Amino acid sequence: MKRLLPALLLFSMPLFAADDEPANYCHDDSVDKDWARLLAETPTDPIIIKLFGLREGLCGMIDRGQITLEQGIDIWNDEHSRSVLQRADDEAKKRKKYDL
C-alpha cells in the first residue's frame, strides 16, 4: 500500500499539463500504457479505478466537444487532489492503528 501513493502521484497527474497553453495527453500512447499498467497492477484499488474512469470519461467528453480542455483540466485537478489527500489520510490512519 505504501507504493500506491507515489504511483498515484506519478501516474495520475498526466491527463493534462499545466502550461501557458494546456497540453492534452488524452491520446498519448505512453500515458495510456502507464494507466493500463497501473490498473492491471492494482485492479481493486478504488482510487485508481475512479481516476482511470474519470480520465477515460473526460477524454471522451473533450473529444466529442461536450466540455472544453480547460473544463477537463479543472475537473481532473480537483478530483486528483482530492484522491491524493484521501490516500494519504487512509495511509496515516492505518499507521496509527499499528503504532502502539
64: containing domain: 4-98
User: What is the count of structural domains for the chain?
Assistant: 1
Instruction: Report pLDDT for 15.
Output: 47
- Kindly write down the DSSP assignment for every residue of 47-80, as one continuous string: HHHHHHHHHHHHHHHHHTTSS-HHHHHHHHHHHH
Of residues 14 and 82, more confidently modeled: 82
Q: What is the DSSP letter of 23?
A: E
Residue 13 grid coordinates: 497527474
Residue 14 has φ and ψ, to the nearest 5°, of: -80, 70
Chain-centroid distance, C-alpha 54: 8
Residues 42-56 pLDDT 10s = 999 999 999 999 999
Chain-centroid distance, C-alpha 23: 16
Residue 5 grid coordinates: 501513493
Q: What does pTM read for this prediction?
A: 0.74
Could you tell me if 30 and 20 are in contact, meaning their C-beta atoms sit under 8 angstroms apart?
no
Residue 19 has φ and ψ, to the nearest 5°, of: -155, 180
